Structure 1
Amino acid sequence: MRRYSDIFPVVLLGGVMALAGSAKSIYEDAAKAWVLNRLSQWGYGTEAATVMSGCIELAPAFGGAVAIIWFLHWYIRKELEAAHLAFDRKLRRPAGDFGFYTAYLIVTNTSPTEKLLNCRCEIVELRDDENAVIETHIGLRTKNQADKSAQGRFNLDQGAEKEIPLFDINQSSDEETLGVINADGRELKFPYGIYTAKIRAYGDRGTADELTVRLNTSNCEFIIFRDAPKARV
């Protein structure tokens, strides 16, 4: 692929500035001529023409300043509200075999330049098939934190991703239980059924990303919703 010359950006910038200067000069001359003509038709003197000419010269600068301020406000707000830690919405079946399965999600650092620190994920609320809330604010851990004493918080390099286990499904025993994998070591087990979880991922900056998942333990059907599922009637 052909590379541009090192002076290409300078030449391009110079051309843009020259065009902008020419456009400004043409605008001022044309606008002044129009205003002077109108003022003479309306019977105003030279003083009024001088004042109006000055206002015409200030109009482009004032408009440009307003546009720059609006752009900076939009850009800064976009950067502050961006969810750099985001869930991968691709559908994946629970991993495992021989009656043991793990349902999991993947979080990604979407920023190509900034490392994320002190990230965490949690199940904000867990509901059963009757849409009743059975647990709230369950802290989650990453796959690599399974044997570590400190769990829950993690760092994530630029463009990197981590697996976040959610549920363990045990079909090899008579109990047939669903276990919630949490960061604080609590034993959370529930009978087989259909469960819906609202999950959030928090980075050290930006807004939290959120999605909803539904798991049917009878057939390991794992559904990821971009929006919250509609309530059953």
Structure 2
Amino acid sequence: MSLAGLGKSVYEDAVKAWILSRLTQWGYGTEAATVMSGFIELAPAFGVAAAIIVVLYWYIKKEFEAAYLVFDRKLHRPAGEDGFYQACLVVRNTSPTEKLLNCRCEIVELRDHEGELVETHIGLRTKNQAGKAVQGRFNLDQGAEKEIPLFDINQSSDDETLGVINADGRELKLPYGIYTAKIRAYGDRGIADELTVSLNTSNCDFIVCSKPSILHRGVER
């Protein structure tokens, strides 16, 4: 505040006097020069106000457009043994200070290798919700992660089916093949994060797709 007061005093005493003299030299009368210098005196205040509005606008815009619950793009090969594997995603709370409440994940679209729609809006659960009566919604501490199971692959079984893990307790079984799933993660604030993954049951190839319609183009494994 002291620096602001000093700057204001310098502006009023020195700069304003210089502006008045210049306006008078340019042919403006004393009264007109005084009025014009008064408007010019307001310029710094308007400039600072405009800068504050712009900064607030971009800060609020960034807050609304940020995704706080995000997927880990570094997928790992489905884990398991004895011919039974489970493909999982990991979601993370990116905020170092705020806990996320009432989060959820879902498979928005599940398609086969020909791009045909198999199922939509499959609610998912976390790994530690298995066997619990209430599934799907979860909280996530600051900087914490949770595993989200997607598919069960049972290569030791004769029926060769792919199980889709869901929070509704439905038994979703699909024949072996290549499937693409568009998945979203919703936090209690920020925009939803979206990820498209492809799973090949023959070799357990689990990848992030650059384009959902082109299964062989993966960005990260």
Q: Mark yes or no: TM-score above 0.5.
A: yes
The CA deviation string for residues 137-171 of structure 1, in whole angstroms up to 9 with x for no partner, is: 00000001111011111111111111000000110
Q: Distance in 2 between matches of 1:157 and 1:177?
A: 36
Query: 1:80 Cα shift?
Result: 2.5
Contact 1:119–1:201 (Cα < 8 Å) also in 2 = yes
Match of 2:199 in 1: 215
Match of 1:188 in 2: 172
**1:174 counterpart SS class:** coil
Higher mean alpha-carbon deviation, 98-107 vs 76-85, is at 76-85
In the alignment, structure 1 segments of 5+ residues that lack a partner are 1-16
Match of 2:107 in 1: 123
The share of aligned pairs that are identical, in percent, is 79
Which letter does structure 2 place at the counterpart of 1:132? Answer: E
Higher mean alpha-carbon deviation, 60-69 vs 40-49, is at 40-49
TM value normalised by structure 1: 0.85
Q: Distance in 1 between matches of 2:24 and 2:4?
A: 30
Q: Does 1:151 align with 2:135?
A: yes
Higher mean alpha-carbon deviation, 37-46 vs 196-205, is at 37-46
Pairwise CA RMSD: 1.9
In the alignment, structure 2 segments of 5+ residues that lack a partner are 216-221
Which letter does structure 1 place at the counterpart of 2:70? Answer: A
Match of 2:186 in 1: 202
Q: Does 1:103 align with 2:87?
A: yes
Q: Does 1:45 align with 2:29?
A: yes
Which letter does structure 1 place at the counterpart of 2:131? Answer: D
Match of 2:156 in 1: 172
- C-alpha change, 1:28 and 1:131, in structure 2 (3 Å) is farther
Query: 1:119 Cα shift?
Result: 0.7
Q: Tell me the matched-pair count.
A: 215
Which letter does structure 2 place at the counterpart of 1:38? Answer: R
Match of 1:67 in 2: 51
Higher mean alpha-carbon deviation, 216-225 vs 76-85, is at 76-85
Contact 2:115–2:213 (Cα < 8 Å) also in 1 = no
